[in-house]
Amino acid sequence: MQNTCGAFGGSLWNANTPTCFKDIAFADDYTREDLADYANNPNLTGNIILEGGYGSGKSTIAQIIANERLADSLSVFEINGEVWSDDTLTKITNTYAWATANSSKAVIIINEVDRLKDKQFKLRDFLDKHAQRLLVIMTTNHLANIDGSIVDRSDVYYVRGFTPQKAVGIAQNVLQRHGYTFLDVDLEKLFARRLVGDEQELSLRQIGRIVDKLAMQNAPNPPKRGNSLRLVK
């Protein structure tokens, strides 16, 4: 998760939030490769659904895909399904018209699309009307709550969480950039302790909180290689 495209303030973790596609942390290469096609080809259109658990980075992925494709922010429209209103489709249509007039493909991002509930049918009609003319990226934590007619019109990509072993690599990239050096085995044990019940994967938010706690607990003198890990309590 090394940020080679820029950094901004906040916690140690937030200072390394990805700003370009190559810096996004994915749990598997297949999803990375599939979604890279949309980021790298501004003419690629269609409907895609990013499914995954809370904090898996779906919204960030959608925003970065849009940014990589379009320098013109007026060609991007983003909304949360919970605040969808009667004039939302008008705003989306205007975004599409602007992009078309400027010889680009609009990107529409609908986070938590399952919260549209009965309004999903209006969205389905819009998707049919503008099929293959723009890119619509929808995110959801609950694919089963999306009407089957929309799912059938979309390519679905599962954004997985991270096993403790894979979480180590993400955390190390951030910690080592700021002078913190911990043993992989210690970090993996720490991440494994954060799994609850039958959970097998961690979200990026969970990983980030642990990274920030480690940094705060070991500041202002980051541990040198080989030193014992001061565990987050």
Q: What is the pLDDT of residues 178-232, one digit of tens each?
A: 888 899 999 999 999 999 888 899 999 999 999 999 988 887 666 665 454 555 5
| pLDDT the model gives residue 71 | 79
pLDDT digits (tens, 9 = 90+) for 202-211: 999 999 999 9
| Whole-angstrom distance, CA of residue 154 vs CA of residue 128 | 11
pLDDT digits (tens, 9 = 90+) for 98-147: 999 999 999 999 999 999 988 999 999 999 999 889 999 999 999 999 99
Give the CATH superfamily of 26-159.
P-loop containing nucleotide triphosphate hydrolases (3.40.50.300)
| pLDDT the model gives residue 49 | 98
pLDDT band for 5, please (50, 70, 90 cuts).
very low
Mean per-residue pLDDT over the chain, rounded: 89
State yes or no: pLDDT of 3 exceeds 90: no
